[in-house]
């Protein structure tokens, strides 16, 4: 019979710590850990004094794949106590709210979640010191206030709830109450606030969150005190996460589980109070460099993110309910994505002298990562939010323009990928849950109009107004080049 592991308690957190044999916020007792050999811890706490005697705490806003699959393990390995907060949004459906509360409940009962790294023998147990649900519609409720108190006593707050307008505003409202609580309780230790969401074109998630938070604060009566507190005590380091986290589910033991690839990197800007600790003790994947951060953003967007989206949209032409690995098993899909990255690599060489060997290594690594069948990465997940991904400076149109302007030629593979993304939205199921896909579908299915001087069609309207192609002067060189890209997209779209 297997030996029982000695019971251990997760680090205490104010306002409702949970852990094995410790009461949680609902008054229930969490079960003892399972027998030895069923899992292993995510990382050991550094020796006492490694963080200069500080008891550091990180609060993650959003109990989702990225926070659980990348940020949580990094902070735990660096010795941070981990607090998880899920936002209950006003616009959520009843089912979505129930799912969100269930995730928090699993964390409260167990005091941990499991990280399944593909290829690893055992899942990693990631302990959390507290889990809370914050109701955006009821910020003064008891559960919401406990979430605010826990975050206010943290040293790092990382949001990963998305970069849509509503998502950013919800996160900013929560941070507003956190800042106000810090002022009321005279909490003045330095704080890092950042976003681990992927950049939107050229804008990092942290920059978007910071700007929305400032807009929210400027409309408050205590704007002077809030602005002063942010200026004196808070930094907003830019983050660029890089890890494919493909699934999040609850297992039969009511444990929250996240599946992720082995590869993991986190680039961070140099303006940070605490990420040096994460870099020192959280693993080799953390890199603090403002210069490398911007370079990594460009390469990730135009190579990894572009290839991922191409595989999803082209694969969805035949099987929208399949996985990325299923799509890349088809030679025609694999070759199109692979050769599209060859075009992008040539554009980077013409732009900055990026070596052919470096481009080849990055391309092979990208194809290996996104095509790993063990991830079971759904096409539906990767294809979500097509309007954002078709933005002028984002992974599809932005990369196609990068290739166009630096090689002087249209990349037919990238143009076909854009046409596939548009076809995905055009044929999206009526009852699908992707709001952006439904919105784009309405635009594409609108009736053509006849104006006094020019006939317009819905597809061109989308390419001009959503993708922002060919919006310059009629005689500009750039517009003429982009018209050639539009012509190829229209050609391929008509064939799909």
Are the beta carbons of 236 and 210 closer than 8 angstroms? yes
35 pLDDT higher than 70: no
Q: What is the mean pLDDT of residues 9-31?
A: 37
Of the given ranges (129-138, 365-374, 463-472), which has the lowest mean pLDDT?
463-472
Comparison of pLDDT for 12 and 261, the residue scoring more: 261
* Residue 476: pLDDT band with limits 50, 70, 90: low
pLDDT of residue 340: 97
- pLDDT tens digits, 435-465: 999 999 999 998 776 554 455 689 999 999 9
Residue 247 structure tokens: 């699934």
Q: What is the mean pLDDT of residues 163-190?
A: 95
Other residues' Cβ atoms within 10 Å of the Cβ of residue 46: 15
* Residue 16: pLDDT band with limits 50, 70, 90: very low
Residue 407 structure tokens: 């090689």
Q: What is the mean pLDDT of residues 80-107?
A: 90
User: What global pTM score does this model have?
Assistant: 0.86
pLDDT of residue 31: 39
Are the beta carbons of 391 and 462 closer than 8 angstroms? no
pLDDT of residue 472: 65
pLDDT of residue 47: 36
Burial class (CB in 10 A: 0-12, 13-18, 19+), 52: exposed
The whole-angstrom separation of Cα 191 and Cα 157 is 8
Are the beta carbons of 10 and 127 closer than 8 angstroms? yes
pLDDT of residue 90: 78
Backbone φ and ψ for 374, nearest 5 degrees, come out as: -70, -20
pLDDT of residue 8: 39
pLDDT of residue 9: 35
pLDDT of residue 96: 84
Task: Tell me the percentage of the chain whose pLDDT exceeds 90.
Answer: 77
Q: What is the mean pLDDT of residues 156-176?
A: 95
Are the beta carbons of 195 and 209 closer than 8 angstroms? yes
* Residue 53: pLDDT band with limits 50, 70, 90: low
pLDDT of residue 28: 37
SS3 81: strand
* Residue 37: pLDDT band with limits 50, 70, 90: very low
The whole-angstrom separation of Cα 197 and Cα 205 is 5
470 pLDDT higher than 90: no
* Residue 27: pLDDT band with limits 50, 70, 90: very low
* Residue 94: pLDDT band with limits 50, 70, 90: confident
Comparison of pLDDT for 55 and 22, the residue scoring more: 55
pLDDT of residue 430: 83
Comparison of pLDDT for 194 and 13, the residue scoring more: 194
Q: The CATH number of 291-495 is which of 2.60.120.10, 1.10.1040.10, 1.20.910.10, 3.30.930.10?
A: 1.10.1040.10
SS3 29: strand
pLDDT of residue 310: 98
CA 77 → CA 49, 127, 277, 278, distances in Å?
A: 15, 10, 10, 8
pLDDT of residue 479: 85
> Can you name the CATH fold of 40-288?
Rossmann fold (3.40.50)
* Residue 170: pLDDT band with limits 50, 70, 90: very high
- pLDDT tens digits, 197-252: 999 988 999 999 999 999 999 999 999 999 999 999 999 999 999 999 999 999 99
- pLDDT tens digits, 330-375: 999 999 999 999 999 999 999 999 999 999 999 999 999 999 999 9
The domain segmentation of the chain, as residue ranges, is: 40-288, 291-495
Mean pLDDT taken over the chain = 87
């Amino acid at each position: 019979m297997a030996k029982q592991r000695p019971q251990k308690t997760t680090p205490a957190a104010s306002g409702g710590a949970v852990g094995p044999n410790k009461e949680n916020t609902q008054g229930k007792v969490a079960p003892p850990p399972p027998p030895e050999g069923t899992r292993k811890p995510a990382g050991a706490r550094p020796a006492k004094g490694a963080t200069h005697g500080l008891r550091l705490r990180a609060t993650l806003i959003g109990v989702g794949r990225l926070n659980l699959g990348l940020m949580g393990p990094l902070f735990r390995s660096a010795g941070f106590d981990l607090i998880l907060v899920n936002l209950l949004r006003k616009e959520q459906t009843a089912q979505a709210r129930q799912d969100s509360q269930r995730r928090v409940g699993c964390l409260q009962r167990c005091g941990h979640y499991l990280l399944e790294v593909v290829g690893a023998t055992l899942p990693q147990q990631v302990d959390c010191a507290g889990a809370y649900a914050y109701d955006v519609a009821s910020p003064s409720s008891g559960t919401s206030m406990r979430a605010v108190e826990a975050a206010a006593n943290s040293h790092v707050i990382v949001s990963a709830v998305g970069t849509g307008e509503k998502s950013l505003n919800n996160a900013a409202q929560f941070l507003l109450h956190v800042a106000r609580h810090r002022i009321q309780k005279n909490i003045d230790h330095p704080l890092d606030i950042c976003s681990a969401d992927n950049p939107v074109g050229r804008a990092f998630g942290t920059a978007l969150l910071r700007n929305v938070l400032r807009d929210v604060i400027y409309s408050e009566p205590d704007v002077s005190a809030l602005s002063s507190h942010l200026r004196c005590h808070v930094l907003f380091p830019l983050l660029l996460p890089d890890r494919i986290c493909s699934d999040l589910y609850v297992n039969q033991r009511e444990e929250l589980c996240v599946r992720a690839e082995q590869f993991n990197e986190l680039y961070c800007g140099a303006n940070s109070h605490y990420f040096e600790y994460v870099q020192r003790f959280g693993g080799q994947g953390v890199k603090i460099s403002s210069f490398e951060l911007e370079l990594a953003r460009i390469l990730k967007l135009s190579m990894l993110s572009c290839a991922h989206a191409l595989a999803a949209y082209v694969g969805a032409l035949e099987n929208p309910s399949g996985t990325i690995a299923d799509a890349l098993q088809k030679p025609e899909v694999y070759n199109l994505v692979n050769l599209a990255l060859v075009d992008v690599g040539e554009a980077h060489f013409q732009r900055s002298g990026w070596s052919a060997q470096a481009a080849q290594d990055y391309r092979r690594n990208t194809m290996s990562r996104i095509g790993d069948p063990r991830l079971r990465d759904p096409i539906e997940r990767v294809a979500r939010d097509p309007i954002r991904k078709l933005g002028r400076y984002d992974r599809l149109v932005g990369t196609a323009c990068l290739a166009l302007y630096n090689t002087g030629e249209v990349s037919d593979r990238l143009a076909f990928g854009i046409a596939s993304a548009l076809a995905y939205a055009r044929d999206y199921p009526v009852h699908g849950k992707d709001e952006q896909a439904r919105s784009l579908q309405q635009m594409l299915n609108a009736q053509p109009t006849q104006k006094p001087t020019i006939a317009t069609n819905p597809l061109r309207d989308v390419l001009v107004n959503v993708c922002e192609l060919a919006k310059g002067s009629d005689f500009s060189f750039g517009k003429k080049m982009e018209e050639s890209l539009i012509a190829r997209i229209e050609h391929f779209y008509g064939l799909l």
